[in-house]
Structure 1
Amino acid sequence: MRRLIALFFLIFTLSGVAVAQQMPDDQVIQYVKSAQQMGKTQKQITTELMRRGVTKEQVERIQQKYEDSKSGNQQNSTQGENQSRQRGQQNADKKTDAKSINQRNNTQQRTVKGLRTTNGRQMYRGDQMEMTGDSLWMDGNNRGMYWEEEDPTQQIFGHNIFTNANLTFEPNINVATPVNYRLGPGDEVIIDVWGASETTIRQTISPEGSILVNNLGPVYLSGKTVKEANNYLRQEFARIYSGVIGNVPSTQVKLTLGEIRSIQVNIMGEVVVPGTYTLSSFASVFHALYRAGGVNKIGSLRSIKVVRNGNVIADLDVYDFIMKGKMKDDVRLQDGDVILVDPYQSLVQILGKVKRPMFYEMKSTETIATLLKYSGGFTGDAYKKAIRIIRKSGREHQIYNVDEMDFSVFRVEDGDVVTVDSVLQRFENRVEVRGAVYREGLYQLNGTVNTVKQLIKKAEGIRGDAFLNRAIIDREREDLSHEIIQVDIKGLLNGTVADIPLQRNDVLYIPSIHDLKEESTLTIHGEVANPGTYLYSDNMTVEDLILQAGGLLEAAATTKIEIARRVKEPKSTTFSTTVGQNFSFDLKDGLLLGDGSDNFHLEPFDEIYIRKSPAYHQQQNVTVGGEVLFNGSYALSKKNERLSDLIAKAGGITPDAYVKGARLIRKMTEEELRRKEDALRMTQMGAGDSISIKKLDLSDSYSVGISLEKALQNPGSDYDMVLREGDMLFVPEYVSTVKINGAVMYPNTVLYKKGESLRYYINQAGGFGNDAKKRKAYIVYMNGTVSRLKSGNTKAIEPGSEIIVPSKDPRKKMSAAEIIGMGTSAASLATMVATMVNLFKK
């Protein structure tokens, strides 16, 4: 023990030195880089790091830092690429829209509100970008991230319209050329001439605003609409083509658009990504806002201005598009336009029983009625007579209760919180009827139901089992306490008692005669198909109950059918020693036989007992196998049938049978199973003298040691054991070997040699083992019996038996060499684990 303590002290001392001399993280990284350049293996690097005090935890920490820095560089690189892409979009082709989608996806990836763990601790927060709608979370084991939807009541209505990937407002360029489209530098125009003269001119308007036409020179089209350009071209082409102008022109000239130009617009103010954007010349304000990521949390959707040449040409209200589908203000943009998104002026939250509770941006002239319209209106369980408003006055809070008549005139202000309550959980015109009526339930008061009689009529009358002498009304007073009012239903229906007016929340209860007494039943036990409890009926007989129980079983005795009856004397005033009445009858052809059985009827709560016939026995089978003439199962013909009888039924034994080795396996009875469960329960209780569970035989069968040889020699003797159902007898062949097992040097099977002692057979197995209990050896015979062995007993060992030598208790003190060996193994194991740590994942 002292050596063991000294060894552990040495290990902990070395560990302390390693921790004290631990290398900093930077030195570890530099050492790994140098070692890799020198061509050292990972195992060599790990071993040398451990010698320098580097722990597994330090390696994992360095690896995490490396991965974090790598992901941070990738994110910075992505953001830099997005910004350069925004500045460098100058091309005016269809690829612009594809780029805008990529830019849009990248913008969504950056608009992260927060990276959190499941315990709510914030890990990362974006300072410049924010996300509307969802939050990004990480699971508790840091194995993955998932999106968690934000509370809808905390969102601003309409702010997600420009973050929907399926609603891009992208212009459609595969349409006929609009006549009001204004041409500009970069537009490709196609001029078709047909009729008396035919030609096609396809040119792009130059930065100076003109195209070059043969025999005409420069033709200036910039700034003209398509309609104006067509009129202008007819005038110009009349100079080189005859028949272009006149009442019936013979030559037609028409201008259409080819490839459209791109424009640059500036999106400023409260948008997610403000800046300069290159768009299609067909682009509208909504598409530009979509490209900019939509408005941010303080951006306005009610007043989005388009400035052109210093003048405001449009003021858009996105709510008109969301609520009414109006897009008349979604003007087509031109090169150099500026879109301004101001902060909101008034943000109001509505909560409670409305269809869309959330924040809404309101104009200064809008009222509660407008807010309710935006929120989808009241839900079905809303209290619609009034709503509650909490307002921040600048110094303290104020509360307003706005009635229904003032919804259209009460104006909301910034910061207002509007709450719509639910209806009260009570009824203003309810009465209820329960009990012995045909239609129980709730009914309307002050309609066609105002009195008790009217309520009974509405419930389609009383049932035949109604108790008419007394019913009750449970009435709720004004102070919410209750009182009981007695009602004579019989007199009320006959007109001898005045009808009783009902009040709100009255509950009329008309009892049934069956509700006023215990339910009458009958119980049948024993040999019937479905024993149990059945409902009592008047004039019921024992035969009737047997029929309801599915009839008698084959084992039922038709004699001595007993009926037990309760003693019922409700008006008795004296003590009685009689606890019950018993009747006994015989049954023949479905009729009771016996004194007084002709008019015998059952009474409530009688119990009937059908006994099992004492002469009824089911077949009881036993099995015999092995060296008998006819193997198989045999049915017992009498209760005391014995081993010799079974051998006789099987035709006797064969000449090769080894009778002394015959064994019997017996199944446990219910009583034996119960005793086994009791023994197991006592063992689990942990009593001081309890035995080990491992030593208990927990199977449902067991071996019985028999001597078939003596049973056949002396039939009817004690050796000739009485059989019972489920027994299995096996008569083996002669076995000429002996097994030696347990704590011996070499467990073996050897030939039986008559007259040899235990020492001979132990020597055949190499002798006793070091941990053998030599004096505890025992032998197991083929017939299932077990016996202790003595070294000089030469008659105890028989053919087919097995010698078993038990072992000593393996728990013992460890030697110094074993302790040192264990410490060396632990150190080797630690080195192997450290070697498997991966420093860097490529």
Structure 2
Amino acid sequence: MVSALTDQQVIDYIKKQSAAGKTEQQIGKELLAKGVTPEQANRIKAKYESQQNDIVDDHSEGLNVDRQRSVSGQVSGKLSNPNVNAAHADESSNEYKDIYGHKIFNTQALSFEPSENLATPQNYRLGPGDEVIIDIWGTSEDHLREKISPEGSIMIAQIGPVYLNGMTINDANNHVKNAFSRKYAGMDDAETEVQVTLGQVRTIQVDILGEVATPGTFRMSPFSSVFHALYLSGGINDIGSLRNIQVLRNNKKVAGVDIYEYLFNGKTSGNIRLQEGDVIIVPPYEQLVSIDGNVKRPMYYEIKPDETIKTILDYAGGFTGDAYAGMVRLQRQSGTENELYNIERGEFSSYRLKDGDVITVGTILDRYANRVQLKGAVYRPGMFAIGRDIRTVKDLIRKADGLTDDAYADRVLLYREGPDLQLQVIALDLKNILAGISPDVELKRNDVIEVASVEDLMSKGDITIAGHVTNPGSYPYAENMTVEDLIVQAGGLLEGASTARVDVSRRIVDPASVTATQQLSQVFSISIENGLGIGKGEHFVLKPYDRVEVRRSPGYSAQSIVGVKGEVLFDGEYVLQKRNERISEIVRRAGGLIPGAYIKGASLSRKLTEAEYIARKETLRLAMTNSQSGQGDSLALSKIEVADTYNVGIDLQKALDNPGSTYDLVMQPGDELFVPQEQSTVKISGDVMFPNAVVYEPGKKLSYYIDQAGGYGQTAKKGKAFIVYLNGTVAKAKRNTPIEPGCQIIVPSKPKNGGTDWTKILAFATSFSSVATMAATITNIFK
């Protein structure tokens, strides 16, 4: 597999993504996806290792090499180390263990890198590569900068080599001063002073081995600590220990690092400064336990052999507020099976844990040990605690500031849990209990006392108002409520409401009756003026369940609109002026017809009433049912949508010649009259040889126009041909049926199964003015 990226592109990509805050695991996966091979990663790693000696003399460049060394380690470690790859594969699986502290050394924002402005530590020992600055002042003055050679010395003119390797700054200062006393006068008399300081420092090599993301040799600042070295290695992997990290120097252990001491207590005693040749070993963890449930930080924790349940609880941040702290559940693997233990609170500090233990902290019970509830007609209903002040029912009522004025105290219900948690109901004479006549009742946990109100015991049904009011509906009954009050609650009267008659219907209530009655209700008719009752309706008091109906005034009528379009002088919309206004009157109000109007083709479109629309839908449904039973094409029928308008066949010429006659139709709201221009064609469609439109020839018969379309088709149903005229009328096509300009001759086909060819009918619909016309056509076909 050939990589799509060059070596330099890989390095640049790692630097850019690291600066963006991505982890090494994310960068490694992205490089794999981009085709970077393990061979290429190893080549990059070797390339930068070979360049280390060339730039080791420059401290800042040495730190850069250190970072580049880490970068190359990221590439090679992520792509070539199968253990690391397997570990990161576990991160996406359900078995991945989120161990506390493992992410601290692979976080970009926390590098533990030493400060370059740090004062030289007193115990820092000079070595090859360190730069020494010597300042001389007094009787003699000089300024020297020398770098310690690989042999451990610096060369001073007229003095020779001065050996400084392994010395501290103080030791080096005294040693140099003694050496300069041979060259400069006044050293012994303190007339000349010498000061030795540290310039640029060398880099050191440290080996990091064991369970880290990228084990190997790393070059870093001599001021670096163990934590910084762990960061450079990519952090501790999934099986690495946080509690037992060892630092070896000259084959001897010089420090043991416990990361938890730093994370939980802030102690950095094990985070020692590293020296040339130090070895850091991260062994696998020995014991790992898990804690979940109601603790503040549930996850995996690494423990030492002597740590207990109390320790792990401290690591997890302690219990949450709803945790049951009296006992924890511990699951342990015995080697052949799992075992379960319940550990009491007293054993937390002494019960030692083992590897693989799982601790679960439960939650407290969702119930109250001392709660009672008071409901109903008291001044302060709610929850109360049984205690020193509240022990009995009388105490509870007193704590709630007593009963309200409408409380029904003769019979109060106490709901109580029985021995088997079954609900029990106890009736109390609260009136006598409060008076001291009846014995008081001691309260128990979860008791619920409900004090009813006198009004709650009375039936108060809602009152309903309907008709011409702003907000018709049901409203709650109130004493002495009048019709005026109800109208105000309903938002007042609408325009057109009748003030001469408002009907109030009332239930017939006769509790003592022993026979049925023929009368179902009482009805009262009252008059109102300005929303107030007058005459018999003045202060008419309503009762529960009354129904008030505000009628529409017979003298009120909203404007009704009709439309006139086409060849009239003033087309547009017109408001009907009176009832039963006819077509001729509307045409006259529109200024009459203009020259060129085709009066025979005038048509009237009318909106379906709700009942008509339902009937049309039902007709279409029945047609579809017949089609599904094998008598037609149900798929074609399913595409038909019933319009909300239909055409009314009219003869406008006769209507204008005979005003007020049956030809002169009465206009209805929503009607639209259309008068077309003069027409000069006839359209022939359906099962003919060449459907087209031809010029109208006066006096020509049906056969002439069929011939103009090439004659009938092979499957034409000649006897069922029909003609649709512009005015919306339909006629069966016979030899002497008149042909008029603008009409359409339609020839249906014989279906293969002998039934109606609904597909053809549907095709004809495109030439109709509306689906309503098509419905009328279908009706005429089967007459």
Q: What TM-score do you get using the length of structure 1 for normalisation? A: 0.77
Q: How does 1:326-405 map to 2 (within 5 A)?
A: 326-393=267-334, 399-405=340-346
Cα pair distance change 1:326/1:100, threshold 3 Å = farther
Instruction: Determine if the alignment matches structure 1 residue 416 to structure 2 residue 357.
Output: yes
Cα pair distance change 1:696/1:297, threshold 3 Å = closer
Aligned partners of 1:781, 1:94: CA distance in 2, in Å?
A: 97
Aligned equivalent of 2:444: 503
Instruction: Determine if the alignment matches structure 1 residue 656 to structure 2 residue 596.
Output: yes
2:504 pairs, out of 553, 556, 563, with 563
Cα pair distance change 1:575/1:796, threshold 3 Å = closer
Aligned equivalent of 2:101: 158
Asked whether the 8 Å contact 1:132–1:160 carries over to 2, the reply is no
Any idea what SS the aligned residue of 1:211 has? strand
Aligned partners of 1:133, 1:487: CA distance in 2, in Å?
A: 69
Q: Any idea what the Cα deviations from partners look like across 1:644-694, whole Å, max 9, x if unmatched?
A: 222222232223322112111111122222222333444565664687636
Aligned equivalent of 1:635: 575
Aligned partners of 1:465, 1:75: CA distance in 2, in Å?
A: 87
- How far the C-alpha of 1:323 sits from its partner, in A, is 1.0
286-295 or 734-743, larger mean C-alpha shift: 734-743
660-669 or 99-108, larger mean C-alpha shift: 99-108
Aligned equivalent of 1:470: 411
- How far the C-alpha of 1:509 sits from its partner, in A, is 1.4
Aligned partners of 2:637, 2:309: CA distance in 1, in Å?
A: 78
1:721 pairs, out of 665, 674, 693, with 665
Aligned partners of 2:448, 2:495: CA distance in 1, in Å?
A: 55
Instruction: Determine if the alignment matches structure 1 residue 77 to structure 2 residue 39.
Output: yes
Instruction: Determine if the alignment matches structure 1 residue 99 to structure 2 residue 68.
Output: yes
Aligned residues: 712
- How far the C-alpha of 1:769 sits from its partner, in A, is 6.5
Aligned equivalent of 1:787: 731
Aligned partners of 1:356, 1:695: CA distance in 2, in Å?
A: 63
Instruction: Determine if the alignment matches structure 1 residue 250 to structure 2 residue 192.
Output: yes
- How far the C-alpha of 1:584 sits from its partner, in A, is 2.9
- How far the C-alpha of 1:743 sits from its partner, in A, is 5.5
Aligned partners of 2:109, 2:499: CA distance in 1, in Å?
A: 84
AA of the residue aligned to 1:80: N
Instruction: Determine if the alignment matches structure 1 residue 666 to structure 2 residue 606.
Output: yes
Asked whether the 8 Å contact 1:179–1:225 carries over to 2, the reply is yes
Aligned equivalent of 1:226: 169
Q: How does 1:130-209 map to 2 (within 5 A)?
A: 130-131=86-87, 135-136=91-92, 154-209=97-152
Aligned equivalent of 1:611: 551
Cα pair distance change 1:640/1:436, threshold 3 Å = same
Cα pair distance change 1:357/1:697, threshold 3 Å = closer
Aligned partners of 1:109, 1:568: CA distance in 2, in Å?
A: 90
AA of the residue aligned to 1:787: A
Aligned equivalent of 1:644: 584
Cα pair distance change 1:554/1:276, threshold 3 Å = closer
Gap runs ≥5 in structure 2: 1-31, 57-61, 755-783
Aligned equivalent of 1:437: 378
Q: Any idea what the Cα deviations from partners look like across 1:763-804, whole Å, max 9, x if unmatched?
A: 5556667776666554433222233445x54x7222233444
799-808 or 574-583, larger mean C-alpha shift: 799-808
- How far the C-alpha of 1:381 sits from its partner, in A, is 0.8
Cα pair distance change 1:306/1:513, threshold 3 Å = same
Cα pair distance change 1:439/1:724, threshold 3 Å = same
Aligned equivalent of 1:552: 493
Q: Any idea what the Cα deviations from partners look like across 1:455-508, whole Å, max 9, x if unmatched?
A: 223323333332211112222244433332222222233333333221222211
Aligned equivalent of 1:296: 237
Cα pair distance change 1:503/1:787, threshold 3 Å = same
Aligned partners of 1:189, 1:746: CA distance in 2, in Å?
A: 110
Aligned equivalent of 1:53: none
2:520 pairs, out of 576, 579, 582, with 579
- How far the C-alpha of 1:256 sits from its partner, in A, is 1.7
Asked whether the 8 Å contact 2:415–2:424 carries over to 1, the reply is yes
- How far the C-alpha of 1:252 sits from its partner, in A, is 3.4
1:487 pairs, out of 392, 405, 428, with 428
Aligned equivalent of 1:117: none
Any idea what SS the aligned residue of 2:740 has? coil
AA of the residue aligned to 1:719: Y
The CA RMSD over aligned residues, in Å, is 3.3
1:801 pairs, out of 736, 743, 747, with 743
AA of the residue aligned to 1:799: P
Q: How does 1:676-755 map to 2 (within 5 A)?
A: 676-683=616-623, 688=629, 693=637, 696=640, 698-741=642-685, 748-755=692-699
Q: Any idea what the Cα deviations from partners look like across 1:601-621, whole Å, max 9, x if unmatched?
A: 221111122222333322222
Aligned partners of 2:532, 2:283: CA distance in 1, in Å?
A: 101
Aligned partners of 2:229, 2:601: CA distance in 1, in Å?
A: 100
- How far the C-alpha of 1:73 sits from its partner, in A, is 7.3
Aligned partners of 2:399, 2:48: CA distance in 1, in Å?
A: 77
Asked whether the 8 Å contact 1:133–1:160 carries over to 2, the reply is no
662-671 or 396-405, larger mean C-alpha shift: 396-405
- How far the C-alpha of 1:377 sits from its partner, in A, is 0.7
- How far the C-alpha of 1:314 sits from its partner, in A, is 0.8
Cα pair distance change 1:362/1:695, threshold 3 Å = closer
Aligned partners of 1:300, 1:605: CA distance in 2, in Å?
A: 80
AA of the residue aligned to 2:37: Q
Q: Any idea what the Cα deviations from partners look like across 1:300-338, whole Å, max 9, x if unmatched?
A: 211211111122111111111111222232111112111
Any idea what SS the aligned residue of 2:552 has? coil
AA of the residue aligned to 2:244: S
Asked whether the 8 Å contact 1:89–1:277 carries over to 2, the reply is no
- How far the C-alpha of 1:739 sits from its partner, in A, is 3.9
Asked whether the 8 Å contact 1:241–1:251 carries over to 2, the reply is no
Q: How does 1:11-26 map to 2 (within 5 A)?
A: none
- How far the C-alpha of 1:74 sits from its partner, in A, is 3.8
- How far the C-alpha of 1:87 sits from its partner, in A, is 6.1
Gap runs ≥5 in structure 1: 1-69, 113-125, 137-147, 813-842
AA of the residue aligned to 2:65: T
- How far the C-alpha of 1:376 sits from its partner, in A, is 0.6
- How far the C-alpha of 1:375 sits from its partner, in A, is 1.0
Aligned partners of 1:288, 1:621: CA distance in 2, in Å?
A: 90
Aligned equivalent of 1:520: 461
Cα pair distance change 1:731/1:460, threshold 3 Å = same
AA of the residue aligned to 2:660: G
Asked whether the 8 Å contact 2:84–2:237 carries over to 1, the reply is no
Q: Any idea what the Cα deviations from partners look like across 1:9-59, whole Å, max 9, x if unmatched?
A: xxxxxxxxxxxxxxxxxxxxxxxxxxxxxxxxxxxxxxxxxxxxxxxxxxx
Q: Any idea what the Cα deviations from partners look like across 1:59-94, whole Å, max 9, x if unmatched?
A: xxxxxxxxxxx9797433345346646865744312
Cα pair distance change 1:88/1:487, threshold 3 Å = farther
Asked whether the 8 Å contact 1:189–1:255 carries over to 2, the reply is yes
Asked whether the 8 Å contact 1:474–1:506 carries over to 2, the reply is yes
AA of the residue aligned to 1:95: N
Cα pair distance change 1:107/1:787, threshold 3 Å = farther
Q: Any idea what the Cα deviations from partners look like across 1:265-304, whole Å, max 9, x if unmatched?
A: 2223333433333333222212222233333333321121
Q: What TM-score do you get using the length of structure 2 for normalisation? A: 0.82
Any idea what SS the aligned residue of 2:105 has? coil
